[in-house]
Amino acid sequence: MLILPRKEMEAWAIADPEAVGAALGLSGRVKSIDWPQSAAEAERVHDPKALLVEAVRSVRAARVSRFNSVLSAVAQRQSLSILRGAPSFAQFEQRLLCALEELKCVTQSEIRGR
């Protein structure tokens, strides 16, 4: 079973505005958006999806379609060092690594070398 933390994923996306801009074809962040100043602050945004939708609309000037593809494109461009500043991501990553180690998919030395 796969559980996706939807609201957290949206908060993690807005934690890296450069990745959002790159996913939308820009060479930087969407400047018209008041982005959170840190990953921890991004987690406190009440409706992170609304911020992402606003970014998409400001660039594409059209109705937002295939939101999940935008979220996926952002995730592919994100900085893990930025994401690790979000407490929920750090906890998610740690739990994931523990589960992978328990399943013998990774070793402790591979985890330390990340």
* Max avg pLDDT among 3-7, 24-28, 36-40, 60-64: 36-40
Can you tell me the distance from the alpha carbon of 67 to that of 57, in angstroms, rounded to the nearest whole number?
A: 11
Can you tell me the distance from the alpha carbon of 102 to that of 47, in angstroms, rounded to the nearest whole number?
A: 35
For tokens 């740690």, what's the residue? Answer: 94
* Max avg pLDDT among 26-35, 78-87, 88-97: 78-87
Could you write out the DSSP letters of every residue in 21-45?
A: HHHTT-SS--TTS---SSHHHHHT-
1 pLDDT band, cuts 50/70/90, is very low
Can you tell me the distance from the alpha carbon of 108 to that of 46, in angstroms, rounded to the nearest whole number?
A: 36
